[in-house]
Amino acid sequence: MKYLHLLIIISLTFFSVSSEATFTVKDIAKNYTYQSAKLSPDGTKLAVSFDDKGARNLAVFNLKDFSVLGGASLGTRGDVGNFYWGNNERIVLEIWRRKPWQTESSNYGELYAVNYDGTQGEMIYGFTVQERMDTKIRRKQATEGWAEIISILPDDKRHILISSTPMSEGNYRYASIHKLDIYTGRLLKPVTLAPAQQASFFADKQGNLKMAIGTDESGDKKIYRFIDDEWREVSDNFGEAFQPIALSNNAKDAIYLDNFEQDKVGLFRMSLETGKREEIYTDKKVSLSPGSINVTVDNTDAYAIRVDDGRPAYVMFEDAGEEAALFKGLLGALPGYSLTLTSRSRDGQYWVLYASNDIDAGTFYLFDKSSGQLTQLLANMNHISIDDFSETQPVTFPATDGTPIHGYLTYPVGMAKDEKVPLVTLVHGGPHGVRDYWGFDRDVQMLAGQGYAVLQVNYRGSGSYGADYQQAGYHHWGDLVQQDIIDGTRWAAEQGKIDKSNICIMGASFGGYSALMSASMAPELFKCAISMAGVYDLNLMYEEGDTPTELWGKSFLKRVIGTDQKQLADFSPVNHVQSLDGPVLIAHGKRDRRVPFEHAERLKSALDDAQKPYEWFVRDEETHGFYDENNRAEFYGEVTKFLQTNFN
């Protein structure tokens, strides 16, 4: 590209090998500093959401000299969530709130707007809006509802288009579509109502509705086109993975993911006028996901696909336009990175790019198209040298039945050529629809920083490897899935760099379940087990937690674990503690709704009855994981001591 000679003005430390990692568990436990960075439409200002002592705030910088122009700190009202430039002056942001007993914040569908200089901050949607009256019109009205932004309406400097869903337990109500005044908070009369529950909407650049997807009471997807001011269902001939990604520039086509009549999820195009469909790309080895599709920053077209088979590789569309050409040049300037263009100035001169890889926790760059300069703006984990992080290698091994299983193996940085190190098998959660990817992983780097090799296994049941592969894990949590993990651990131990006498298994949620279940199935292999927020009694999943209360929660449980109470009991770690041959570290948050604390209490009681050794790490205010960086650091400290004690 003629303008992409890329004079790189960055302070990156290029990869080199240091003798050993020097960061502490407290260092690696720190929250990521930066969450998002977006340019104003005129390209003169940069808005950044950032962490400040556990609170997420907003700062706005002058792009010329990076002086601070303003921003927003919500204080007791909550944290800054996703945000958008409504125009060159005003920013609309989601408010994320913490319940009094929780350490993490969550989105409750409230919207707040503020000028870039920090003035005229107003709640514009939500249950805490203070109602005010003008002489003739109601300016703001409290809404017991949940807002989702459909379109910023770039040609309308005063309004955005939102869906407003009335609050209800279990999300059983239908959304209405409105324009919302980002200065006054006035909600205009409904444009239309949603055709289904839990609906998501897609509009063209002007905010004209084109598509919607929702669910019925069984959790099945329903798909609609908006024609002549009416919703028309077109659910037939789509797969369960159907997900619109973007509308083409003229809004005549929808670009979407689907697995209709095929095993892998691919990318397709459908005419919104005729319904005619054509395949764009399907990979032979892995499914595509919304995060793997690079769409234009105005969400009007797709131009590249990231294929996550091992390390990420990109497939570029032919004749995909200027943004695609720019992206291709940036891939060449930053080899070995996953890249996303996050925003641009309206004239296309300035772009913000987000880049990350296995040893970079995420860096934002500014690209000046006219000069070809790529400037580093903001880097997460920049208090730790990139040389101290350990590189991750994709691996493939055969399961007992010969099925190829994929995963990742990380050896500690600075490891001597003939050295053998302890191994921690780190199991991902989910288990279904989730997988481990090549990229920066805080837990992996914490363990590798202590001198341990780390194995991650995308066992059967994991997402991304096709429907057949995922469904192979259904009803097999306690046998086939665990055997894949055990097979992978044995394979890694034979690669010549592992101390076979010092192997432990660790995980969170389903990964915590697997830590206990695998350790009981292969006690001679695993010297110890570490479980955070683990599931230990499968029958309890039907009785406690938020899954059974979701709209399709019970049907999901029936599909993935079944209803055979005998099998569920046999697949429950709480019933196999007698087989454990090493100590256990149990970590849990008392406010966990996904996997209630009762799971940990039942495991503790079973271990006590069996007189098995264990460590106990519980935090009253945490939910499904440790979100407070101090709690996370303390947990990492307990993990470190536990491993040091049990590895000799």
- Asked if residue 57 belongs to a domain, the reply is no
Domain-located, residue 18: no
Lowest pLDDT segment from 25-29, 234-238, 302-306, 390-394:
234-238
The 10s digit of each residue's pLDDT in 324-379 is 889 999 999 999 999 999 999 999 999 999 999 999 999 999 999 999 999 999 99
161 vs 12, 104, 208, 286, 295, CA distance in Å?
40, 28, 9, 35, 20
Nearest-angstrom CA–CA distance, 69 and 61: 5
Alpha carbon 149 to chain centroid, angstroms: 19
CA dist 416 and 589 (Å) reads: 39
* Interval 12-24 mean pLDDT: 50
Looking at every residue in the chain, the average pLDDT score rounds to: 89
pLDDT over threshold 60, residue 2? no
pLDDT score of 382 more than 80: yes
Average pLDDT for 288-311: 89
H or E element that contains 393: strand 392-398
In angstroms, the CA 424 to CA 411 distance is: 10
- In the predicted model, what is the mean pLDDT of residues 396-419? 95
pTM over 0.85: yes
Q: Is residue 372 part of a domain?
A: no
Distant-in-sequence, close-in-space partners of 533: CB < 8 Å, separation ≥ 6: 508, 509, 512, 587, 588, 589, 592, 594, 595, 624, 625
| Averaged pLDDT, 151-155 | 91
Q: Establish if 432 belongs to a structural domain.
A: yes
Residues 6+ apart with CB under 8 A from 36: 48, 49, 82, 83, 342
Give 544's pLDDT tier (boundaries 50, 70, 90).
confident
Are 491 and 476 in contact by the 8 Å Cβ rule? The answer is: no
Average pLDDT over residues 137-161: 81
One DSSP character per residue, 521-589 reads: H-TTT-SEEEEES----GGGGGTSSSTTTSTTHHHHHHHHT-S-HHHHHHT-GGG-GGG--S-EEEEEE
Q: Residue 180 — pLDDT band, cuts 50, 70, 90? A: very high
pLDDT band for 249, please (50, 70, 90 cuts). low
Confidence of residue 301 (pLDDT cuts 50, 70, 90): confident
* 69 found inside a domain: no
CB atoms within 10 A of CB 262: 15
- Quote the pLDDT of residue 545: 80
Strand partners, 158: none
In tens, the pLDDT along 483-499 reads 999 999 999 999 999 99
The predicted pLDDT at position 60 comes to 97
Examine the pLDDT at 621 and tell me if it is beyond 50: yes
Amino acid present at 29: A
Residue found under tokens 């288990």: 431
Locus of tokens 């695998």: 518
What percentage of the chain exceeds 70 in pLDDT? 92
Per-residue pLDDT band for 157 (boundaries 50, 70, 90) equals very high
Rg (CA), the chain: 25
For residue 310, pLDDT over 90 is answered with yes
What confidence tens digit (pLDDT) does each residue in 490-541 have?
Answer: 999 999 999 999 999 999 999 999 999 999 999 999 999 999 999 999 999 9
Q: Which of 217, 236, 255 is the last residue of a domain?
A: 236
- Amino acid 9: pLDDT: 36
Please state the domain count of the chain. Answer: 2
- What number of helices (H) and strands (E) belong to the chain? 10, 38
CA distance 457 to 397: 10
Confidence of residue 275 (pLDDT cuts 50, 70, 90): confident
Q: What pLDDT shows up at residue 14?
A: 30
pLDDT of residue 481: 97
The CA distances from residue 629 to 30, 54, 130, 632, in Å, are 5, 8, 34, 5
Rounded to whole angstroms, what are the CA distances from 126 to 95, 98, 567? 10, 15, 45
Residue 165 tokens read as 């869903």
Predicted pLDDT at 12:
31
Give bridge partners of residue 291 from the DSSP assignment: none
| Residue 58 contacts residue 47 (beta carbons within 8 Å) | yes
Which CATH number fits the domain that encloses residue 460? 3.40.50.1820
pLDDT of residue 424: 98
Residue 55 counted as domain residue: no
- Domain stop point among 236, 265, 282: 236
Domain that holds residue 601: 390-646
Per-residue pLDDT of 570-615, as tens digits, reads 999 999 999 999 999 999 999 989 999 999 999 999 999 999 999 9
pLDDT over 60 (residue 225): yes
Let me know if residue 627 belongs to a domain.
yes
The answer to whether 593 touches 624, Cβ cutoff 8 Å, is: yes
Residue 6 has pLDDT above 50, yes or no: no
Q: Does the residue 73 lie in any domain?
A: no
Residue 488 is predicted with a pLDDT of 98
- Would the pLDDT of 164 be above 50? yes
pLDDT, position 149: 94
* Final residue in a domain of this structure, among 236, 253, 286: 236
Candidates 293, 228, 227; CA nearest to 256 is: 293
Q: What angle do CA 343, 348, 353 make, to 5 degrees?
A: 35
Q: Which helix (H) or strand (E) holds 515?
A: helix 510-521
pLDDT, position 319? 66
Measured CA to CA, the distance from residue 56 to residue 35 in angstroms comes to 9
| Structure confidence by residue, pLDDT tens digits, 101-146 | 667 788 888 999 999 999 999 999 987 665 554 443 344 566 678 8
Q: Look up tokens 């409750």; give the residue.
A: 108
Residue 487's SS3 state is helix
The runs of H, that is alpha helices, within 360-504 are 442-449, 467-471, 480-493
Distance CA 201, CA 216 (A): 16
Indicate the burial class of 435 (C-beta count within 10 angstroms; 0-12, 13-18, 19 or more).
buried
